[in-house]
Structure 1
């Protein structure tokens, strides 16, 4: 049994778990900011924005709407982006326009958020597995030392303490990484769900006004 290799494996496992923890925190912060960028800061901001857009829409000032949506602080938000798509495709029938907007929202917003969320899920699954690997390595080391002590005729339980401690601590660390990320991932999924609901509501309001003010039959 090549004990030095197993000792090196222990350091590699610790390093991998540290990297997993850091990357998990990084992705969580990045996803939180990304969701925040896609939604309005408050209901009041959304209401003010939609009211101004509706006023322009009633006057058929389409260029003003695009200009409003394509400048800070609205150019990174989901609803203004989709409103610009709706204005560009305003001559389509309503059913087709809704489908176009849904596909664009799915491709440009939700796909990116789901991709980032998948990394959190990957780390949640990987961290306990790394901990389990550390447990297996620690127990292999411990049993190898027991075999060596039996061959030499000397028994010293304290020699096993470090390997048993490593085996248990890696499991604990893996769970300590995974559990907060599970909570963070669930919280972010709730925020993504609220983003979908708000986009659907606000975009539906815009489309109602678009249909009412259009010179063409969109329904």
Structure 2
């Protein structure tokens, strides 16, 4: 059994480090992804909606597509959902709203929530891995203590073994505490992204519905 634990001990530390690196990678990826998909300011969002509204009331749908595909806006979730709405504008307001909502849920929120869930998993797993490492190291330390025989045990060596055992728990907490804080921050940012996109798309879909119900000015002319 001690042989197994002897090889398990360093493996646990390795898994902890990998979990911490993976959690850090996900945090950086999520922060960058949300920043890319969300307008930096409300003024930028209003500017985009004003440009789209101008083309929309002219029924210049190709012009709307050009705006949404421009380098300034192509990465924004609202711009991509506007393209979905415009492409399906003839299917009726209710269907368009449903398509936009499904696209937003499956294409954006689901991916963000999955990655966010893995951050939460790292938060929960890191302390448990630390505890496992501590217990494993302490079992090995006391096994060496019991096998000391007549020569006795070097107190310094024993203290070093126990210190190593506690370091596993410390490492787990070092990973879990910042991951918990970053996870909460990312959860707030996902919520803000969802709220802003819903507000912006609600405004655009209202304008689209008005335009599609109005007579074609060009034909009337």
Same fold (TM over 0.5): yes
1:56-75 to 2 correspondences below 5 Å: 56-75=55-74
TM-score, L = length of structure 2: 0.91
1:165 aligns with 2:173: no
What's the counterpart of residue 197 of structure 1?
195
CA contact (8 A) 1:138 1:167 kept: yes
Contact 2:2 2:140 in 1 (8 A): no
Instruction: Trace 1:1-219 onto structure 2 (pairs within 5 A).
Output: 2=2, 5-149=4-148, 151-152=149-150, 154-215=152-213
Task: Give CA-to-partner distance per residue, 1:99-126, whole Å, 9 cap, x none.
Answer: 1111000111011111211221121122
> Partners of 1:98 and 1:82 in 2: how far apart?
10
Q: Unpaired runs of 5+ in structure 1?
A: none
How far did 1:212 drift? 1.4
Give a deviation string over 1:122-175, Cα, whole Å, max 9, x none.
2112211110111111111122012112x4362443332122111211101101
Report the CA distance between 1:95 and its aligned residue: 2.1
Count of aligned pairs = 215
Which ranges of 4 or more aligned residues in structure 1 deviate by more than 3 Å? 5-8
Alignment gaps of 5+ in structure 2: 216-221
